[in-house]
A and B are shown apart, each in its own frame.
Chain A
Amino acid sequence: MAEILTPEEIIKQGEPVFVKTKLMTDNTLSYCPGCGHGVAHRITMEVLEEMGIGDQTIGVAPVGCSVLAYEFMNIDMQQAAHGRAPAVATGIKRLFPEKYVFTYQGDGDLAAIGTAETIHACNRGENIVIIFVNNGIYGMTGGQMAPTTLEGMVSSTSPHGRDVEMMGSPIKMTEMVATLPGVCFATRQAVHKPGLVRKAKKAIRKAFENQKDKKGTSIVEIVSNCNSGWKMTPVDSNIWLEENMLPVFPLGDIKG
Chain B
Amino acid sequence: MAKVKGAIVVDTERCKGCNLCVVACPTNVIELNEEVNIKGFNYAYPKFHDACTGCTNCATVCPDMVITVYRFKPAKA
Contacts of B68 in A (CB 8 A): 16, 18-20
How many Å lie between the Cα of A204 and that of B72 in the bound state? Answer: 30
Given A7-B49, A7-B52, A234-B18: A14 and B64 within 8 A (CB)? no
Given A10-B70, A18-B59: A235 and B65 within 8 A (CB)? no
How many of A's residues come within 8 Å of B, CB to CB? 40
Stretch at the interface among A55-63, A105-113, A163-171, A192-200: A192-200
A28 at the interface (CB under 8 A from B): yes
Contacts of A180 in B (CB 8 A): none
Given A34-B19, A194-B60: A16 and B52 within 8 A (CB)? no
A42 at the interface (CB under 8 A from B): yes
How many Å lie between the Cα of A38 and that of B65 in the bound state? Answer: 8
- 0/1 interface trace, chain B 53-65, chain A, CB 8 Å (1 if under): 0101101111111
How many Å lie between the Cα of A79 and that of B6 in the bound state? Answer: 40
**Closest-CB distance, A31 to chain B (whole angstroms):** 7
**Closest-CB distance, B19 to chain A (whole angstroms):** 5
A37 at the interface (CB under 8 A from B): yes
Cross-chain contact A33 with B17 (CB below 8 angstroms): yes
B67 at the interface (CB under 8 A from A): yes
Cross-chain contact B49 with A34 (CB below 8 angstroms): no
Cross-chain contact B69 with A7 (CB below 8 angstroms): no
The DSSP consensus for interface residues of chain A is: mixed
Of all chain A residues, the one with the shortest Cβ separation from B14 is: A28
Given A10-B7, A18-B69, A33-B41: A193 and B59 within 8 A (CB)? no
Q: Which residues of B contact A (CB under 8 A)?
A: 2, 5-7, 9, 14, 16-20, 23-24, 41, 46, 49-50, 52, 54, 56-57, 59-65, 67-74, 77
Query: Could you list some 15 contacts between A and B, CB below 8 A?
Result: A2-B77, A4-B50, A5-B5, A10-B6, A11-B7, A11-B9, A17-B54, A18-B68, A21-B65, A33-B41, A34-B18, A36-B63, A192-B61, A193-B61, A194-B24
Q: A13-B72, A17-B70 are in contact. List 12 more A-B contacts (CB 8 A).
A: A8-B7, A10-B71, A10-B72, A14-B7, A18-B59, A18-B60, A33-B16, A33-B64, A39-B61, A193-B24, A194-B61, A238-B23
What 9 pairs across the A-B complex have the smallest Cβ distances?
A38-B63, A34-B18, A14-B72, A33-B16, A33-B18, A18-B69, A10-B7, A7-B7, A194-B57
Q: Which residues of A contact B (CB under 8 A)?
A: 2, 4-5, 7-11, 13-21, 24, 28-29, 31-39, 42, 191-194, 197-198, 233-235, 238
